[in-house]
Amino acid sequence: MSSFALNPRLEGDSLFVADLPLSMLRLMKDANYPWLLLVPRKSDLVEIIDLDEAEQGQLMQEIALVSKLLRTVSNCEKLNIGALGNQVSQLHVHVIARFRDDAAWPGPVWGVVPPREYDPESADNLIDHLQDALADAIR
Amino acid sequence: MSSFALNPRLEGDSLFVADLPLSMLRLMKDANYPWLLLVPRKSDLVEIIDLDEAEQGQLMQEIALVSKLLRTVSNCEKLNIGALGNQVSQLHVHVIARFRDDAAWPGPVWGVVPPREYDPESADNLIDHLQDALADAIR
């Protein structure tokens, strides 16, 4: 078994936030939407059903935890959760905060408008908020 | 607490397949993609995190079961799983069989091409196959 390596495209498109028990949590570099990724740290995963049943349960717990954090931090109107992987096959789950006035509403976010760059301070602030909320949640 | 009622738009866009312990399983009326919906049978759900933790675990089990069934029955190349709910707020999870030559590949399916009608026999056959595979899986 090879060890976990983050797909280079996922790595380039996102910033590290935290390591959860199963997944790496990352922030997508797209200021259009507060947009997180959960990437289970196991090699050779493509589908959720490539995880064993206990890991699937853990992934759901992490989706729920991150959903609550993101809603609290962003004050969003809707959450979008998705595991697609048509372009990058390494298993990753999108957890996206949506607003009725965002760039893609009411459609899904993928491929609608080009990513909008964060100014570095905003991305750092958002990551700090997420890390603080995570620390509170698991305390 | 009001009892569960399926959203009229979800009902009109899909056909009944089976009742799982938590969710109703339905087939979307779109022959472009073998496309299933899981609709947890509880009232007033919008987000996955509106379910309690045990129900979230059950939902994940049903997503995994249905993913395996759909892959077996469709022989698909990729699964797409999503809980969006921007247009129909009642909580529903999409489980979609994707192919490299399908109408939306490699993008997500939502809103790309108009639904393509099944001939009634094809939809019935697919539902029969799914029901048989489900009966085998839970035997």
pLDDT along chain B (139 residues), means of 10: 88 98 98 98 97 98 98 97 97 98 97 94 97 91
> Most B CBs within 10 Å: which of A38, A47, A87, as the mutation test of the B interface?
A47
How far, in Å, CA of A100 to CA of B105, rounded?
A: 27
- pLDDT band for A2, please (50, 70, 90 cuts): low
- What pLDDT is stored for residue B2 in this prediction? 62
Lowest mean pLDDT, pick from A24-28, A133-137, B15-19, B92-96: A133-137
What percent of chain A shows pLDDT beyond 90?
95
> Most B CBs within 10 Å: which of A45, A46, A49, A56, as the mutation test of the B interface?
A49
Q: Which helix (H) or strand (E) holds B122?
A: helix B120-138
- What pLDDT is stored for residue B26 in this prediction? 98
- What pLDDT is stored for residue B76 in this prediction? 98
Whether residues A105 and B86 touch (CB distance < 8 A) is answered with yes
Select from B47, B61, B78 the Cβ nearest to the Cβ of A85.
B78
Q: B32 with B102: CB under 8 angstroms?
A: yes
What does the buried/exposed string (b/e) look like for A27-53 if buried means 16 or more CB atoms within 10 Å of the residue's CB? bbebbbbbbbbbbbebeebebbbebee
pLDDT surpasses 90 at A64: yes
Select from A46, A78, A86 the Cβ nearest to the Cβ of B86.
A78
Chain B environment of A58 (Cβ under 8 Å): none
Q: Which domains does chain A show, CATH number per domain?
A: 8-138 (3.30.428.10)
Listed in sequence order, the residues at least 6 apart from B14 whose beta carbon sits closer than 8 Å to its beta carbon are B26, B27, B28, B29, B37
Select from A60, A81, A110 the Cβ nearest to the Cβ of B57.
A60
- What pLDDT is stored for residue B73 in this prediction? 96
How high does pLDDT run on average in chain A? Answer: 96
- Any bridge partners for residue A39, and if so which? A24
ipTM: 0.96
A111: left (phi over 0), alpha (psi -120 to 50) or beta: left
How far, in Å, CA of B58 to CA of B55, rounded?
A: 5
Tens digits of residue pLDDT in A65-120: 999 999 999 999 999 999 999 999 999 999 999 999 999 999 999 989 999 999 99
- What pLDDT is stored for residue B1 in this prediction? 52
